[in-house]
A and B are shown apart, each in its own frame.
Chain A
Amino acid sequence: MSEIVFEGVTRRFPLPKGGDFLAIDRIDLTIEEKEFVAIVGPSGCGKTTLMRMAAGLDFPTDGRVLVGGKEVKGPGPERAVVFQQFALLPWKTVRENIGFGLMCKGTPKAEAEAAIARYVDLMGLTGHEDSFPHQLSGGMQQRVAIARAYVMQPAALLMDEPFGALDAQTRIVMQEELVRLARRNPRTVIFITHAVDEAIYLADRVVVMGRKPGRIIETIDIRPLREDGGWEALPIEEVMDTPDFTHMRSRIWKLLKAREQERPAVPAPTPAPVPAK
């Protein structure tokens, strides 16, 4: 059981000068067992904070977070996290980083080796098993971080902009791979991203957040589009060209933009002058 429930979750951070900052304001959200939910929203709207509370690395000031019906008291390997900044152990090789969770769990060596080898292969890290993180590019480090989470076969996957450091091509490969994995072995996923395309393509539901204070503006079900459009049979570029997809994208963009324009403090960008020819 790995349904994730946020119940009236509020998170305030104390400010150094006294008082506090309302980062998340009364969020109610239920992520069903084996559902894939993407969260989009402007920087600073509290996406990472929300995910950290599901991971048990941070706790609500008010309200509750429940996973599988139980209140979250701390982190655990059944809820794997892919961190926004990788968080690889610099003194461990790629192989040791990927195998760290298995080692903690006491998985037999041969079994662990086989699992590591499978994900090294899947993530295109072959030949780098014995490299240290600092010897890898940012994109490769990110793939190690993803492999480290996948290899745990967790009931819930919490991913914070996991494809942020990847180049466009690798990103597409990873997105397709994630869809494949999700279909073969569905699990509960919270997937944070800045890329609206990515959210629509991957998720069952997209949660759009706004900031000041951080809250949910709208939750959109993508499943009807995907099923009607037969997205799963199409390559990613074609999916992104379908009218359903482009409509959905502009709808979400508008939601994000409308929220920003409600705040007069941010001046609208002035259009660049058109050079006279």
Chain B
Amino acid sequence: MAKRRDRNFLGPSGTSLGLGEFWALTLAGFTLFFAVWAGVAASGWLPPNLLPSPAAVWDTLVRLWHQPFAGHVYAEHLTASIGRFLMGWALAVGIGIPLGLLMGWYRLLDEIVTPLFDAMRFVAPLAWVPLAALWFGTGIGGPLLIIFVGAFAPCVISAYRGARLVETRLVEAAQTLGASSRQIMTHVLIPGALPSIIAGLRVSAGLGWQSLVGSELIVVGAGLGYLMVQGQGNLNTSVVIAGMIGIGVVGFAIDVVLRAIEAAFRKRWGQA
């Protein structure tokens, strides 16, 4: 969905849309969504405690901003989640990117790690929750492990692909100019893999952030996931939806920032 902004926008008949039309349609989409939601809520098909109206959710959000719920105000839950996410994501990036680059460079490592990795990839981050709970109890380690598991794979894969896509002749040219392995890593492989790495960072941040709620199901303290679980426990649907909105907005913001960085790099090097 986000991709469309990078290119020309193609309508169903293949004609491209201007930026103004694009935003108009985006706005129309959201308006329609809220209208349907408000309509269904007002129709009384579902009791308001199961489906609160958009206005009720908004009121709840405003209230959560000032009054602590589950021990903290909304902003504190937000920052707790973001902080946890950043730590887990940084760990995934810090280990995953170098590992991927090395796999692209050393065939042997590639052959050792890839099968293992392919097998592990299919265990969803949420499937790690019980193990994380057993290992770390309610400590910070549990959520970190789960965000890590969610964000790790795209980091490794993107760095690996990026390094493999760097043209051999560039590495060879550097070698004939006397570059050491380290210089080839920093001046050829990393910059060559960077567009792919940045695209991977975007995917991994998305997946890491999505794994967050799962991780926070086992946290006691603060966080959007925790807020939502508490809301569920109190049968407070508005609070649950308010938490979901926070997750969506922050996730979208992360994506926008990383997309801007990606675009800046492409422009600088003229790479498609």
Contact = CB atoms under 8 A, between A and B. Distances in A.
Interface stretch (A15-23, A82-90, A199-207): A82-90
Given A100-B187, A104-B183, A87 B269 contact: no
B176 A80 contact: yes
Given A87-B172, A90-B269, A90-B271, 18 more contacts: A57-B172, A57-B175, A75-B176, A76-B178, A77-B176, A79-B176, A81-B172, A81-B176, A83-B172, A87-B167, A87-B173, A88-B173, A91-B268, A100-B174, A105-B178, A132-B269, A134-B270, A134-B271
A87 B169 CA distance: 6
A104 B169 contact: no
A100 B186 CA distance: 12
Contacts of A92: 187
A55 B177 CA distance: 11
B191 interface: yes
A148 interface: yes
Contact of A77 (B169, B172, B177, B269): B177
Interface in A23-56: 55-56
Which of under 10, 10 to 19, 20 to 34, or 35 or more describes the interface residues of A? Answer: 20 to 34
Query: Quick one: which of B170, B177, B271 has the most chain A CB within 10 A?
Result: B177
Interface residues of B, number: 22
A104 B179 contact: yes
Interface of B: 167, 169-170, 172-180, 183, 187-188, 191-192, 194, 268-271
Contacts of A88: 173
A68 interface: no
A85 to B, nearest CB: 7
A81 B178 contact: no
The 7 A-B residue pairs with the shortest CB-CB distance in the complex, in nearest-first order: A77-B178, A101-B177, A134-B270, A87-B173, A91-B191, A75-B175, A75-B176
Contacts of B169: 83, 85, 87
Contact of A76 (B172, B176, B194, B271): B176
A83 B169 CA distance: 8
Interface string A259-276: 000000000000000000
